[in-house]
Structure 1
């Protein structure tokens, strides 16, 4: 079972490492852990995100399903802080803030961002914390 000492690891493509670093570090506030000629490693909200240089990654119009990643915030304050950061830093949106499953136990607030390589990042918060998983 995962504990707070463990870190989830995700690797994604990046067409340009400078643009990728700009987005994740300067816009989202992630911590740059390491940078090499072929990848950057980030502290992505407490987990490890590795962006591998993939200049030949084909351009495509991204779709939210089936491939996206992000963070489900346990605390509404943390979700709201991210929303403020996105607004202040004018982070590119794929889908604006929305409420899904309104009036049900699965009700949650969500926003979807688009990185420079067209990877989609969903950030959300459930009103009922039991719905996080």
Structure 2
């Protein structure tokens, strides 16, 4: 498990800064910094940097092998993120579903699509030991 004095960092492409800021703020992320070529967010306690690179946007994204997101340890937080996505009319790539039903690794999940076609997964495991 990660120590609390560390922050995970992820850099991803974006095609336009204003729409990127709008999407991530609607998701509840805080804009930390903005420059002419990138924006940095507090993404649920970690750092996501969206670099302006419209020529590197995946026009046909697939869930596997590339996506990122949050595994919530509290169901209430998962539910809150889902309700926020619905309320803000954020684009779903995959609607909420249950994966691995009836197995120890059963979890709730949904995927969102950001303006640059980056896929974000949000999930909650009923058995917290399966989070890693």
TM (norm. structure 1) is 0.96
Equivalence for 2:17: 17
What stretches of structure 1 of length at least 5 have no aligned partner? none
Partner-residue secondary structure (3-state), 1:29: coil
1:1-133 residue pairs with structure 2 within 5 A?
2-25=2-25, 27-133=26-132
CA RMSD of aligned residues (A): 1.0
Q: CA deviation at 1:56?
A: 1.6
DSSP 3-state at the match of 1:56: helix
1:57 CA displacement: 2.1
Contact 2:15/2:57 (CA < 8 Å) preserved in 1? Answer: no
**How big is the shift at 1:121?**
0.2
Query: Per the alignment, do residues 53 and 85 of structure 1 end up closer, same or farther by CA in structure 2, a change over 3 Å counting?
Result: same
Q: What's the TM-score once normalised by structure 2's chain length?
A: 0.97
Please state how far the C-alpha of 1:4 moved relative to its aligned partner.
0.8
The runs of at least 4 consecutive aligned structure 1 residues that moved more than 3 Å come to none
Q: What are the ranges of 5 or more consecutive residues in structure 2 without an aligned counterpart?
A: none
Aligned residue-pair number: 132
